[in-house]
Chains A and B, each alone.
Chain A
Amino acid sequence: MNTKPRLNIGAVRSSFAPWADPSAKPLVRFDQVTKRFGGETAVDAVSLDIYEGEFFALLGPSGCGKSTLMRMLAGFETPDLGRITLGGEDLAGRPPHLRPVNMMFQSYALFPHLTVAQNIAFGLRQQKKPKDEIAARVDEMLALVRLEGLAHRKPHQLSGGQKQRVALARAIAPKPRMLLLDEPLGALDRKLREETQFELMALQQRLGMTFLIVTHDQEEAMITADRIAVMRAGQLAQIGRPAEVYEAPNSRYVADFIGDVNLFEARVTEDDGDIIRLTSPEAPDGLEAIEDDEIAIGSTAWLAVRPEKMRVHLDPPPPGPNRLEGVVADIGYLGDWTTYLVELPGGRTIRAARANASRVVDRPVDWDDRVWLTFAPDSAVVLTR
């Protein structure tokens, strides 16, 4: 599970990596936590550390157990096995109202009978704060989420984006040790969601609060989080920085779940330390990848190549490894990117994506063109499961 960054990959906030420091104490520790609903195991022996100040994302398809994991931390579900600790303290048996974490709900769950200001003040009133202190904190929160003029509105008078901000402000106001965000942007439209992703990240940086976000949207997780835990059927598939899970996935599942990927089933023929050579019926000239983990010669492995790392040639490049030949079956023009679906002689379709870096090209790739695809050995990842 521990992916050491062998290569310099992606964008990295390198100064912040408490998880790499063996002496650092995690803020939250899930220790072999299991939760079953009836016969179904929703969360299966998950162990996970989240550190102070971290923006951590639980990413996975619906039903993978990510929400259940978060709800166990908030106290809405009780683990069947295992322990959850917060700041070293075991949370077992502690009801939700005594846990110093606040949650922003997917449905927002704003109190419809209270105004925006009263919603934000709800947790503060519960903490029995003096009146003027509550008023000051509410004003501060309204300014933080830029809703100053709407303090006296009722939730039903707000737009979706405004409701989302109130829900966020309400959860932050009591200064929790940790903020839990359950699909916080799921109900927003695409444009607003993209804006809010960056705002959420900036907000977390400014407050220095620990954020745990649950999402099925890989883009949301990639943009906001310091680390991502990819979940599959109640288990952790991989934990790492966004660039690590994207560029160095540890399994076909992760490679396929995060972004698009072309997978070649191949047989390992040679391993000379850095470079691994493989053969596949789909690549007549052989395959090559840089990989410093040892892989047994003769075993089956999968070579994963992201579409944007495929180069498309209209003229045949010199023969050599990592060279595929095919016919353009489909072209998806997205404006910023163009995706080519190239059909190999065996019938398989490979994705290649190209950034439209200039407005005009001399020779555009057309439907039914014969093209060659190549990729560099360090653009491919060898996966054994």
Chain B
Amino acid sequence: MSVTGAPRPRRPWRRLGRPRGSSSWEARAALLPYLWLGLFFFVPFLLVAKLSLSDVVLAIPPYAPRLDWSAGLPGLIAFVRALDFEAYARMGQDGLYLAAYLSSLKFAAVATAILLLVGYPLAYGMARCGPSVRQALLMAVILPFWTSFLIRVYAWIAILKPAGLLNMALAQIGLPPVDILNTDTAVYIGLVYAYLPFMVLPLYAVLERQEAGLLEAAADLGCTPFQSFWRVTFPLSLPGVAAGALLCFIPMVGEFVIPDLLGGSGTLMLGKTIWTEFFSNRDWPAASAVAIVLLATLVIPILLFQRQQTKMMEQR
């Protein structure tokens, strides 16, 4: 409690814990995510964007123009001049692309709605369990990740095929067989199955964190358990609902494996369209253009997701 103006005692341990130059190291470490993003996201994106502005040619690789570094600046100018929006123009003319695009959005939206209906009660139940049961259930949700995604989708073929496990089970209890494989229904089943953990985990995180006292307060102020849910639990879980919905919706729009393996020839999804353009038609510019448009439209939900995340962090 001395209030004299004497100099503070020196604190040598402060220096021990902080080697010289550590702050500049920290600054460099903070740049790492940007470096990674630039290297693994922005550069590939630029390559795809460039591809989408190219033209199809019968060559290897099947597009033109190609940048000739040896030609110097005139070569670069000639290269830029040769780029055009033809691939995008073709996309606008062919109704198939728009149909695939809308169909993808529909698949993703409907699957997200089903995921919410299935995932919310699951996450709610988990959050209400005792700590040990909770851990076991959490493990069960994460466990499928230990198996290859592809194998799990193939497993669904074994279940859904005409002589598969589902129809065998139906026959056992005397019901007529169903023909689900290679239909939109199978795609929905696959999507809901594959993305369920991505819906359940953010929902569980917000529900588990909710203070139990809030429900007591709601009950004290006259709420039945049902009313407490709608007036307190659900509104407070909305950040989790948004996170889960966007976490599922965004990748599902571009999903390829599930519609390809479980869907039929009539199943129209952008992921499949891109694949067909790229590998069957060898139309790399068109495939790239579809991918760029898909990304551009997904930027809005991605930004929404980001904002939601920041808001959640602030409210803690």
Contacts and interface: CB of A to CB of B under 8 A. Distances in A.
Interface of A: 74-76, 95-97, 101-103, 105, 107, 109-113, 122-123, 126-127, 156, 170-171, 174
B94 interface: no
A127 B214 contact: no
Contact of B211 (A75, A95, A109): A109
Contact of A112 (B221, B227, B236): B236
Given A74-B220, A103-B220, 6 more contacts: A97-B220, A97-B223, A103-B216, A103-B217, A110-B217, A113-B236
Contacts of A110: 217
Given A112-B236, A113-B235, A156-B315, A102 B213 contact: no
A107 B221 contact: no
A76 B225 CA distance: 13
Given A105-B213, A109-B214, A113-B236, A123 B315 contact: no
Given A109-B211, A113-B235, A126 B223 contact: yes
Contacts of B217: 103, 105, 109-111
B224 A97 contact: yes
B125 to A, nearest CB: 22
B78 to A, nearest CB: 59
Given A111-B232, A112-B315, A113-B236, A97 B214 contact: no
B221 A102 contact: yes
Contacts of A75: 219
Interface in B216-253: 216-224, 227, 231-232, 235-236, 238
Contacts of B219: 75-76, 95-97
A318 to B, nearest CB: 43
A111 B223 CA distance: 13
B226 to A, nearest CB: 10
Nearest to A121: B221
Given A107-B211, A112-B315, A113-B235, A174 B216 contact: no
Contact of A122 (B213, B218, B224, B236): B218
Contacts of B236: 111-113
Nearest to B238: A113
Contacts of B221: 97, 102, 122-123, 126, 170, 174
- With most chain A CB atoms within 10 A of its CB, the pick from B213, B238, B315 is B213
A109 B223 CA distance: 15
Q: Which residue among A74, A75, A76, A109 has the maximum number of chain B CB atoms within 10 Å of its CB?
A: A109
Interface of B: 211, 213-214, 216-224, 227, 231-232, 235-236, 238, 315
Interface centre among B222, B223, B231 (most CB of A within 10 A): B222
The 6 A-B pairs with the shortest beta carbon distances in the complex, nearest first, are A126-B222, A123-B221, A109-B217, A109-B213, A96-B219, A113-B235
A255 B231 CA distance: 47
A126 B221 CA distance: 7
Contacts of B213: 105, 107, 109
Contacts of B223: 97, 126
26 contacts: A76-B216, A96-B216, A96-B219, A97-B220, A97-B222, A97-B223, A102-B221, A103-B217, A103-B220, A105-B216, A105-B217, A107-B211, A107-B213, A109-B211, A109-B213, A110-B217, A111-B218, A113-B235, A122-B221, A123-B222, A126-B222, A126-B223, A126-B227, A156-B315, A171-B220, A174-B222
Looking at A74, A95, A103, A113, the one whose CB has the most chain B CB atoms below 10 A away is A113
Question: Most chain-B CB neighbours within 10 Å: which of A95, A110, A126?
Answer: A126
With a 10 A CB-CB cut-off, give which of B221, B222, B224 has the most chain A CB atoms: B221
A97 to B, nearest CB: 5
A76 B231 CA distance: 19
B150 to A, nearest CB: 41
Contacts of B238: 113
A107 B90 CA distance: 62
B220 A96 contact: yes
A103 B213 CA distance: 11
Contacts of B232: 111
A379 B223 CA distance: 53
Contacts of A156: 315
Contacts of A109: 211, 213-214, 216-217
Nearest to B314: A156
Nearest to A76: B216
Nearest to A180: B220
Contacts of A171: 220
A122 B221 CA distance: 7
A113 B210 CA distance: 12
B147 to A, nearest CB: 39
Contacts of A123: 221-222
A198 to B, nearest CB: 26
Nearest to A106: B213
Nearest to B210: A112
B222 A127 contact: yes
Nearest to B316: A156
Nearest to B315: A156
A170 B214 CA distance: 13
Contacts of A174: 221-222
Nearest to B232: A111
A267 to B, nearest CB: 48
Contacts of B214: 109, 111
A76 B218 CA distance: 12
A107 B220 CA distance: 14
Contacts of B235: 113
Contacts of B216: 76, 96, 103, 105, 109
A96 B220 CA distance: 5
Contacts of A102: 220-221
A9 B218 CA distance: 43
